[in-house]
Amino acid sequence: MARDKGDLLQGTLGMLILKSLAAQELHGYGIARWIEDVTKKSLTIEEGSLYPALRRLEDRGWVSSSWAVSETNRRVRVYTLTRQGRAHLRKEATSWMEHARAISIVLRAEPSYV
């Protein structure tokens, strides 16, 4: 049974958003485009997933937001990674990389029968 890309994102979207904000503040569209660009369009973030996730991250104190004017002269909400968000990102990224390493080992192993 094939899994939808959305299944993966549900557990990792917050971490991807935090990572996108690690170097600079971005508005929602910029966050989605950064993730698309970095993954060479393997992952796309829909507005219906992005903005609720941003709200959850803001409620947890991991991002803050403020109003700004975009390059196209439109009023946009920009998001910034907080100190707590940076610490959470480090912790989650380390844990995720450890799990990914372990899963890669299992997937590369030759099956054996005991």
DSSP letter string, 26-95: EEHHHHHHHHHHHTTTS----HHHHHHHHHHHHHTTSEEEEEEE-TTS-EEEEEEE-HHHHHHHHHHHHH
Q: Is residue 2 included in any domain, yes or no? A: no
On whether residue 80 sits in a domain, the answer given is yes
Q: Is the pLDDT of residue 2 over 90?
A: no
Query: What is the number of structural domains in the chain?
Result: 1
The pTM (predicted TM-score) of the whole model is 0.85
Full residue range of the structural domain in which residue 66 is found:
8-107
State the CATH number of the domain containing residue 67.
1.10.10.10
Domain-embedded: residue 64: yes
The 10s digit of each residue's pLDDT in 18-69 is: 999 999 999 999 999 999 999 999 999 999 999 999 999 999 999 999 999 9
Asked if residue 53 is part of any domain, the answer here is yes
83-103 tens-digit pLDDT? 999 999 999 999 999 999 999
